[in-house]
Structure 1
Amino acid sequence: MLLASVNLNKRLGTSGARANLGAWLREHGVKVMVAQEPFKPADRTPPVLGGFTFAGGDGRLAAWISEDLAPPTVATPAPWVQRIELEWLVVYQVHLDAYAGASRAAQLTELTALTTAEKGHPLVICGDFNLARRPEDGLFGEETSTFTTDAERRVLEQLMQDADLVDTTADQVPTFTFERVFNGKPSRFRCDLVLLSSHLTQTTTVTVDAAVRSGPSAFTDHSALLIDLPLTLQAGEPDDVLFSLSELTSAGPAATPTRRGYQPHKTAMSRQAPSPASRAVTAHLTGPLGIRSVLDHGCGRGADVAHYRSAGLEAEGFDPHEDFGWPRPERTKFDLVTSMFVLNVLPDPWQRIQALKDAASFARPGGHVVVVTRSPEEITKAAADGDWSVHHDGFWSSQAKGTFQRGIAPSEISVLARQAGLQPAQGVPVLPLPGVCHVVLHKPAA
């Protein structure tokens, strides 16, 4: 799903710029546009953009979405920032103060508080920051500009560190997103940024389009930012129907699942014997780590719990699907928590982070969490063989059942685990599990 972010410099009210913008959006297949300074603040009615629905905002910050998609939830925490919910992703678009470094630093401090309140939710922060993150990102003539202060740079770096964000365009060419001649000298800045949750960088592509600034097809004096996200948005309901198809109980099992239609429990296998992963845990891990108690988090029908108990361990299971009969245990502080083939059936990064956080909550300080997933190679092959359809960053393995699969590499498990306060364990045995991926994680002592 392509998201565009661009400072339109109040030009959307001009028919020529609006036509050029519309052609550019269609050419690139943009589905969501967030814009800084889209039209004059005095204009009470936002200009009509063909093929798009106005999703909310004003002349400082506004959002549009393709007219065939359901409108997102949009809020304005402060005049300079807009919060947009796109399925599992939260987008903050910003337009920081264009004149005072102290004001920008205060806004960035407030933005840090806003992102902290998201509690690890996957984030995109984009827009016109009106600053140069690094000295080389802002030049006046051939010298480093003094426009951006060290204080605001420090606050920005703190925001990125606290929210685990990556500056996605730091090394792209062209370098600058805004250029103007001031007092006879060129003023050049990379001030339009895309900050992205680190665990999304492998599945998201960000490009800078400077062509929108010049020539007969130009519509602004800022470069546009194109963010290709692993996101499948929900279709909107037609305006000319009396009721929603999803309201019909006769829609049948082949109906496309809604946001609430995911059924990961249907991927659980009916095992007569313990899984190879649980056997590897008892054969190679519990002894060296001195494990005495185990919780199988997402245990399905519980075959692995029985195996752990037969190995002499104090073992319990938990699965959120009530029919499996493994309610949430009252006990915590297990030596080891296992998560076997859970993350790969959850349909988005936010659900995976939440699952890891929940699993980590059962481990004692200093304890361990073992995560096992299907591999990217296995899922890619299965998707090709089964003609699975793409959904978010993975595939519907069955739309009728509402089941999802994504192959997750060890590096991605580790990045997601960092959001849950876990880190890769050092000096632990590697489990002999060919064809699947796993990571042994450590929960730091309090």
Structure 2
Amino acid sequence: MLLASVNLNKRLGTSGARSGLATWLHAHGVEAVVAQEPFIPVDRTPPALDGFTFAGGDGHLAVWISEGLAPPPVSSPRQWVQRIELEWLVVLQVHLDAYASSSRAAQLAELAVLAAAEGGRPLLVCGDFNLAPRPEDGLFGDKTSTFTSRAERVKLNQLTQGAYLVDTTAEEPPAFTIERVSSGKPSRFRCDLALLSDHLTATTTVTPDAAVRSGPKAFTDHSALLIGLPLTLRAAEPEDVLFALGDLKGQEPAVTAHRKYQPHKTAMSRQAPSPASRAVTGYLTSPLSVASVLDHGCGRGADVAHYRSAGLDAEGYDPHDDFGWPRPDSTVFDLVTSMFVLNVLPDPWQRIEALKDAASFARPGGHVVVVTRSPDEITKAAADGGWTAHHDGYWSSRSKGTFQRGIDPAEITALARRAGLVPLADAPVLPLPGVCHVVLSKPEV
């Protein structure tokens, strides 16, 4: 889906700006627009935007969604930040103080707290930050501007590092998003930002568009950001309810989608252990001094039988009740295996939740090994099978409700960080051609 973020400088009160914005949105195929300062916030009804439904907000921050799509849940934790739930992604739209450096620094510190409260959920933090992230991002005349303080940059870095966010429009030279003349000198800033969870950068495009402020059909004085996100928005009247990995803990599904996901239908009926489980016993259990193993997402349990036959104290767990592997009581396993689980879960948040759940069974100092289908394998299978794109992967069977995505080691590692797991240094390499794997550690503390 394509999301647009733009500061409208209170101009939607005029029909010309509304028409120009609507024309631009339709020309680009935008499905959601988040706007800073859309209109004068004095008891005014939100302006109607042709082809879009107002989803929430006020004259400070507002969001519109394309007609025919379900309006997302929207809330306002603070007047300067708006929280929007787009399927599995949380968008924090911000408009930081335009006048006081100390106020912006305090807002950034509070934003870091809000981001941390999401518990690792995939994040997009976008809007008008009213600061230059780097010295070269703010110029006054031909010199570096002193508008942004060091304290602001420190707080911004703490936000991005703490929440594993990437400043997606950081380029050399900077693409300034606002250019004005102040005291007879040009003032140029890259202040309209899109901070994105690092594991989403490979599948997300972020493009600044200066035509909205400088072109013949300009309707504001800020550049807009066009953000292509790897998610599929649901229709206004969804057909079914999403299977959520929250079922692992007996929670109710939090999100709905076009089809009912049934990951358990990807489970193979094996008469023999998988090559991945044989690689674990052949190359991993001895070097890591593993005595106990949990196969997390074990399906029908063929690999559990293999681990037991290798002399390990092994258990299995699968959230699909019909497989007959309930949650074990023990949470001190030396090793937890997650074999071809992440790649059948339809969004990054469910994958993070799966890794958190898997990590909860490993003892401090224990390990988690994750094996996934590779991006190359899934790309080929999708082309050969005519699979339909969905979120960041494909429906492998719409009738069955099964999903597949190829996940490489870098993405596994980025997702695992949200579960408190880190890559094991000098980990044994498993001879598993055509698939991806990472051996992870659960810190002692």
- With the shorter chain as reference, the TM-score category is over 0.9
How has the CA–CA distance of structure 1 residues 245 and 280 changed in structure 2, closer, same or farther, with 3 Å as cutoff? closer
- Which residue number in structure 1 is paired with residue 109 of structure 2? 109
Separation of aligned partners in 2, 1:202 and 1:26 = 26
* 1:364-403 paired onto structure 2 within 5 Å: 364-403=363-402
For 1:104, the aligned partner's letter is R
- Which residue number in structure 2 is paired with residue 252 of structure 1? none
How has the CA–CA distance of structure 1 residues 246 and 373 changed in structure 2, closer, same or farther, with 3 Å as cutoff? closer
How many positions carry a matched residue from both structures? Answer: 431
* 1:419-434 paired onto structure 2 within 5 Å: 419-434=418-433
DSSP 3-state at the match of 1:193: strand
Deviation at 1:400, TM superposition (A): 1.1
* 1:62-141 paired onto structure 2 within 5 Å: 62-141=62-141
- Which residue number in structure 2 is paired with residue 176 of structure 1? 176
- Which residue number in structure 1 is paired with residue 209 of structure 2? 209
Larger mean CA deviation between 138-147 and 273-282 belongs to: 138-147
Larger mean CA deviation between 200-209 and 360-369 belongs to: 360-369
Give the structure-1-normalised TM-score. Answer: 0.95
Contact kept, 8 Å, 2:137 with 2:174, in 1: the verdict is no
- Which residue number in structure 1 is paired with residue 195 of structure 2? 195
- Which residue number in structure 2 is paired with residue 16 of structure 1? 16
Separation of aligned partners in 2, 1:373 and 1:112 = 32
Separation of aligned partners in 2, 1:12 and 1:172 = 33
For 1:128, the aligned partner's letter is D
How has the CA–CA distance of structure 1 residues 156 and 344 changed in structure 2, closer, same or farther, with 3 Å as cutoff? same
Deviation at 1:376, TM superposition (A): 0.8
Separation of aligned partners in 1, 2:3 and 2:427 = 42
DSSP 3-state at the match of 1:265: helix
Separation of aligned partners in 2, 1:31 and 1:173 = 30
For 2:98, the aligned partner's letter is A
Separation of aligned partners in 2, 1:43 and 1:205 = 36
Runs (5+) with no aligned partner, structure 2 = 242-255
Contact kept, 8 Å, 1:210 with 1:223, in 2: the verdict is yes
Runs (5+) with no aligned partner, structure 1 = 238-243, 248-256
Separation of aligned partners in 2, 1:430 and 1:378 = 20
Deviations 1:20-50 (A, max 9, x none): 1111101110000000000111252111111
Separation of aligned partners in 1, 2:173 and 2:58 = 32
DSSP 3-state at the match of 2:120: coil
Larger mean CA deviation between 286-295 and 336-345 belongs to: 286-295
* 1:274-289 paired onto structure 2 within 5 Å: 274-289=273-288
For 1:322, the aligned partner's letter is D
Deviation at 1:363, TM superposition (A): 1.0
* 1:263-342 paired onto structure 2 within 5 Å: 263-342=262-341
- Which residue number in structure 2 is paired with residue 343 of structure 1? 342
DSSP 3-state at the match of 1:176: coil
For 1:394, the aligned partner's letter is G
How has the CA–CA distance of structure 1 residues 419 and 245 changed in structure 2, closer, same or farther, with 3 Å as cutoff? closer
- Which residue number in structure 1 is paired with residue 247 of structure 2? none
- Which residue number in structure 2 is paired with residue 147 of structure 1? 147
- Which residue number in structure 2 is paired with residue 41 of structure 1? 41
- Which residue number in structure 2 is paired with residue 240 of structure 1? none
Contact kept, 8 Å, 2:333 with 2:366, in 1: the verdict is yes
* 1:213-228 paired onto structure 2 within 5 Å: 213-228=213-228
For 2:145, the aligned partner's letter is S
For 1:390, the aligned partner's letter is A
Structure 1 segments (4+ residues) deviating >2 Å: 244-247, 257-260
Deviation at 1:79, TM superposition (A): 0.6
Separation of aligned partners in 2, 1:173 and 1:11 = 30
Separation of aligned partners in 1, 2:150 and 2:377 = 48
Contact kept, 8 Å, 1:10 with 1:40, in 2: the verdict is yes
Deviations 1:399-432 (A, max 9, x none): 1111100011111111111111111111222111
DSSP 3-state at the match of 1:365: strand
Contact kept, 8 Å, 1:174 with 1:210, in 2: the verdict is no
- Aligned-pair identity in percent equals 77
Separation of aligned partners in 1, 2:259 and 2:65 = 22
DSSP 3-state at the match of 1:296: strand
DSSP 3-state at the match of 1:219: coil
Contact kept, 8 Å, 2:240 with 2:259, in 1: the verdict is no
Deviations 1:380-408 (A, max 9, x none): 11111111111100000111111100011
DSSP 3-state at the match of 2:40: coil
DSSP 3-state at the match of 2:203: coil
How has the CA–CA distance of structure 1 residues 186 and 122 changed in structure 2, closer, same or farther, with 3 Å as cutoff? same
For 1:387, the aligned partner's letter is G
Structure 1 position 26 matched with structure 2 position 26: yes
